[in-house]
Structure 1
């Protein structure tokens, strides 16, 4: 009966992968591939679980264990809650515990005997996976998004957590948590995974956006800007602020910058939003804040009020100035001024 469930879950998982791959352009890239990797790792586990191997009884296919699935699941939830469209290179480090786990399993098979040092390392790695599980569970309980999957991920998290905790207890020669024998553990896990696939299929048909957020529509998709033009326009915008100080004009608009630099307005917007990753207003206001800071340190502006100095660099609203300054510097203009005054006093001493 279990093998029939495994085969059905395997076929359903392959169906999910096929359908999702065909529509991958609709979804956020990083989240899509992490979800895709989660499904692939589940399929590998269904095929090659040590105690319920689909093809060979008693086979020790350690590359098909649950650790890879945990890593993908952890990263999937990490990116599901973020706005990142692209997978960050530093997050590849989260796959290191799985890699070390595979290496340790390889060494144990090659040496054909138990090694206390490797057992300790393996236990430490299991703590890392336990941390991944806790993170997933915490985020599931904390956020209202993705609660549909809570009923199925929580059992997976709890079953695997008990397994890892028992591994630690066994190392320090303490009594394990009585849950089930090893065969039942893998059977329960496979059953939960099989039902998870059924639920994923249901949500894919009825509410696909709750599985993977849609990618942001790129309004510059049809742009024909070449890399050399992007760099040229970027430098022109920076020079217009740094050398010509266009930002001091409180009424400065993207249209006026377009006319002055002879660059189409759409291209200025594209360069700022896509390649400098900021809006036109943020781009201009950052230069205004830096100019304000420079003037604040200049003794000839000592008789100016803070807002008086702000108007000198292009701000026309006190509330906008205060909000922008705090956004850029992390503190209010008054706090910044006081920190400079303290440094002057300390320097004088």
Structure 2
């Protein structure tokens, strides 16, 4: 009885919070509606999956609705994958080719059509009684496991690539958003790994263990959804930063080495570096919190790829760190200036081009080895 109450109460809370957040994302005012709506769809699919618990309690007999509800899982990660793409790439848009991602969902339901969807209730019960030997369920579970692993690997590869592209081309604080999305993806990966572990017991003689793991999953689901809700409330505007057509510097170097143009860039290295440093000192573009390598390229009239090679390849540092070095040097001058001793740390970080205390402290400690407060106390 206690287990039954938990299997109703906990999923009920999870379902309410999930749908509430989905509604929030749909109605939230933002210029990046595609991202919000894709995540709202992802949460709705999770909500439908949670609703399967209540379908089980409404009717004792297996139903087509219950099986269809179970197969919704095959749509969750494809939608989350599209959400990650929409967040990472500024030029993302939904296209017909993205319908390819619903193929696993269609396949599993077509496989179940002759021996489950189109048969009577007695045959459905027999289908589940023989589930350990059933080819259809074994195939579906295997396909689900493969899908989860494949999509998680693809998502982590996207995050790795876009973070690298961001560091090579931008110097804003949105890197914190990438770190947050990575954390959420890791939490989601743990969730699906536990779900896969649960399925092992579900297809064995220890189904009671599967039910208790399910309760734990609902609690974990509530936790990560509430965490996301907290983040969403504090950051209602979804970030999008990198153009998908950008290439990592390593790829550009490889291409240039095969052509004579790379030698030209090498020969002009010193001249270009002097021009860049002069521009940085006189114009101070790093004071702009959203500065990009494209902006500097336009200002000093050097092709963005050549400038990227200079900073990210020849100088051996990301554009992100290159810009932050100038910001930190400026901050150090302010911190040791007695006439500006009344400026607090928050005022200083905004003054030099940062727009978050955490990113300023991280960059300052990386550059100097100590915190801004410790540095100021030395003078």
TM-score, structure 1 as length reference:
0.49
Structure with more relative contact order (C-alpha pairs < 8 Å, separation 6 or more): 2
Higher helix share: 2
Structure number with greater Rg is 1
TM-score, structure 2 as length reference:
0.46
